[in-house]
Amino acid sequence: MGQVISNMSMSLDGFIEDADGSVDQLFEWYTAGPVETESANPDIPYHQSAEDTAHFQETVNAIGALVAGRRLFDVAGGWNGVHPTGLPVFVVTHRIPTPQEWPHQDAPITFVIDGVDSAIAQAKAVAGDKDVVIASPNIAQQALDAGLLDVITVDLVPYLLGSGTPYFANLASKPVRLDNPTIRRGNRATHLSYRVLR
């Protein structure tokens, strides 16, 4: 059975976006190498190192569905109806956009208004034996607080942002004990994976 995994690119001082909401420096590793690969969204190609390409492809191949927050969905413009992975996305929101607001009604994007638990359950049903990945910090924190998160992954980038949005903050119960990390070196990122110990 698949795992529920949170994944974020994060600065060395713990932020997943800067104070202005930008992720440009944090996503540098997606474009910092000579190996070009296409994503499911033709507007978002990758240029990574060979190591990062191998890591990224292995990760994507193990995923069956994604869970995102409404803010990420809005900032990304709904990926114009096609997430770069090409996978189904379950967006946790308080309000479903109208057809006028969201013209991509046939896109594999489901709006979930009854909470994170429901979004993860729906994503797991679609993913089958594959993993479900959460790429929104608030949703990841809620999943961790609810005991639904199995693994925390970090693409640690060599930047100090000084301020911004932290990966995890204001946890309901703390400390949270994690297993020793698996570590994979890349170009402009070190990929860390921690199993959540319960």
| Segment 100-111, tens digit of pLDDT | 888 998 899 999
Read off the pLDDT of residues 144-194 as tens digits, 9 standing for 90 and up.
999 999 999 999 999 999 999 999 988 898 899 999 999 999 999 999 999
Contacts for 111 with CB less than 8 Å, ≥ 6 apart: 91, 93, 96, 97
Does residue 198 have a pLDDT over 80? Answer: no
Are 47 and 91 within 8 A, CB to CB? Answer: no
pLDDT in tens, 40-99: 888 888 999 999 999 999 999 999 999 999 999 998 899 999 999 999 999 999 999 998
Confidence check: pLDDT of 23 > 90: yes
- In the numeric block, the tokens 């297993």 are attached to 179
The structural domains of the chain, with segments of one domain joined by +, span 4-195
- pLDDT at site 123: 98
What does the pLDDT read at residue 5? Answer: 98
Q: Is the model's pLDDT at 135 over the cut of 80?
A: yes
β-bridge partners, 184: 191
The whole-number pLDDT of residue 107 equals 92
Cα within 13 Å of Cα(67), Cβ side = 34
Cα torsion through 55, 88, 42, 29, rounded to 10:
-30
Output the pLDDT for position 41. 86
Q: Which DSSP string do the residues of 140-183 spell out, in sequence order?
A: HHHHHHTT---EEEEEEES---SSSEESS-S-SS----BPPPEE
The answer, as to whether pTM is greater than 0.75, is: yes
What does the pLDDT read at residue 128?
A: 97
In this model, does residue 38 exceed pLDDT 90?
Answer: no
Locus of tokens 């709006």: 111
In the 8-state DSSP scheme, what is residue 98?
P
- Candidates 167, 163, 127; CA nearest to 143 is 167
Beta-carbon count within 10 A of 162 CB = 10
In CATH terms, 4-195 corresponds, of 3.30.1360.200, 3.40.50.1980, 3.30.450.20, 3.40.430.10, to 3.40.430.10
Q: According to the model, what pLDDT value does residue 7 have?
A: 97
